[in-house]
Structure 1
C-alpha cells in the first residue's frame, strides 16, 4: 500500500487492489475517511496505519459512491458515522462486481449538499452525478484539494453504464471548484490539469467512435472500435499507465456491448442530411 501525507492533517492511501484510494482528514486524534479501499487486506493495512501507527480513531466514512471497490473497509469501523448520497443503493445494485459482504447501510444520507467542519477543514460534500447516480465530490478548500471518486480514472474516464454527457458535466462541475489537487477514486492524486486530460480523452473517444459508426456497417464498426488505441485518445504529453490502458480496453468493450455513442452517431448523420 502507498501511504502519502498531503498535509499534516491529510493522508492519502492507495491500495494494491485496483489502486483504489482512501483519503483521511484528521481532527486531533479523530479521523474522517473518504472511501475505504477495494480489498480486505488493503483495508486491514489502512486500519493498522491509521489506528495502530498513528493512533487515530475513525469517526466517519464518506463514500464518493457506493461501489464495492471503495467499500472494503466499512466493516472495520462499525462505530464510524457512514455517510452517502441518497441514491447509494441504486449504485450498489447496478455495479458489475458487487460484493455484498462489504455493504453497510449508511447512518446519514443527503441529497444535494452537506457541509461539516473537521479540524481545520470545512468539507463540502457535493452531489455530482456522473459515473454513477450517487457520485459525490468532497471539496476541501482549506487543503486546496477535491476528492472526485470515479468521475475520472487517472487521465481518462471509465464509461461503464454512465451517460457520457452526464460524466462530462460532472467533470466540468469539478473544474469550477478550482482546486489545485484532484484525488481520484483510483491511482492517487493529480494536478488540476487531469480534469482537462480526462475530458480530452472522453471527447476524442466519442469523436472516433462516431466517425467509425458513420463510415462502416455494424460488424466492421465493432472490429474498428475494439482496435482504437489509447494513444489516439489521450491528451498530448500523456503517457498512459498500465492501469489506464486496462480501463481503456474495458471502455472499448462497453462501447461495443452497450452501443455507446450510437445515438451521437445517429444525430450527426441526421444533421449531415439536413
Structure 2
C-alpha cells in the first residue's frame, strides 16, 4: 500500500488489492474521497491514515463506478455521505464477483454536477464506458482527470463492456485537456496514457477480428488466448506486471463472452458486399 501527494491538498492512496486507487481532497480537516479501495484491509488502512494518523474527517465519498474493488471503504466511513450515478445498482449487480458487505446505498444520486471542495472545483461527468454508471471527474484546479476503470493503466479491461462505449469514454476524458490522469488502478499517469489505452483497444480488436474471420471455429479460442500484449501495447510502452496480468484476463474474457464477435460479423458482411 502506498501514498502519493498529487498536490499539497490532494493525496492518492493505492491499495494492495487490485492496486485499486482512492484519492483524498483535503479542505481543512474535511475530506472528499474519490473511490474507496478494493478490500477490507485496504479500507481499514485508509481510515487509519486519514482519521487516526492525520486527524481528518471524511465527509463525502464520490464513486467513479460501483464495483466492489472500488467501494470497500464505503462502510468504513459511516459518517460520510456517498455519491454515485443513478445506474450504480446495474453496475454492482453486473459484476462477476459482487461483495455484498461492501455495498452501501448512496445518499446522493447524480448524472452530472459540479462541486467546490476547498480551492478545487470538481466536475462530475456521466461517462459510460467500462460500466453503465461510470463517472469521470475533471479537476482543472489540480490539472487532474479521473478515468475510473475506463482505462487500466496503458490498456483497458473488456469484461461485460461495450468496446465502442469505452472508446468514446476515453475520448471524452481526453477532451478535458488535463496533464495527469488518475486511473481506477495502479495510480496516476501522464495524459498520453489515454492514447495508449485507445491504441491497445484498437490493436486487440483488430487481432481478434482477424482470427475470427480467418481461423476455423475450433481453433480460434486458442489463437485468441495466444495474443501477446507486446503486439497490442503502444510503441515504447513497457507493460507492467499488472497490465500483463489483466491482458491475460482480457483474452479469457474475449473467448468466454464473445467480445468482438459482432465486430467480426459486421466485417464479414462488409467484405462480402
| Shorter-chain TM-score range | over 0.9
1:1-274 equivalences under 5 Å are 1-111=1-111, 113-274=112-273
> What's the TM-score, normalizing by structure 2?
0.99
> What's the TM-score, normalizing by structure 1?
0.98
Give the Å deviation of 1:52.
Answer: 1.6
**d(CA) in 2 for partners of 1:183, 1:130:** 16
Give the Å deviation of 1:254.
Answer: 1.1
Deviations 1:164-204 (A, max 9, x none): 00010100000000111000000000000000000000000
**d(CA) in 2 for partners of 1:262, 1:71:** 32
**d(CA) in 2 for partners of 1:92, 1:272:** 39
The answer to whether the 8 Å contact 2:159/2:257 transfers is no
Give the Å deviation of 1:267.
Answer: 1.2
CA RMSD for the aligned pairs? 0.7
Give the Å deviation of 1:79.
Answer: 1.3
**d(CA) in 2 for partners of 1:55, 1:124:** 27
**d(CA) in 2 for partners of 1:191, 1:123:** 19
After the TM superposition, which of the residue ranges 41-50 and 149-158 deviates more from structure 2? Answer: 41-50
**d(CA) in 1 for partners of 2:29, 2:238:** 40
SS of 1:18's equivalent in the other structure is helix
Deviations 1:42-93 (A, max 9, x none): 1111111111222210000000000000111111111111000000000000
Q: Which runs of 4+ in 1 moved over 6 A?
A: none
Task: State how many pairs are aligned.
Answer: 273
**d(CA) in 1 for partners of 2:162, 2:179:** 27
**d(CA) in 1 for partners of 2:64, 2:211:** 35
**d(CA) in 1 for partners of 2:177, 2:55:** 33
- Unpaired runs of 5+ residues, structure 2, are none
**d(CA) in 2 for partners of 1:133, 1:176:** 20
**d(CA) in 1 for partners of 2:134, 2:217:** 33
**d(CA) in 1 for partners of 2:97, 2:246:** 15
SS of 2:113's equivalent in the other structure is strand
**d(CA) in 2 for partners of 1:56, 1:273:** 64
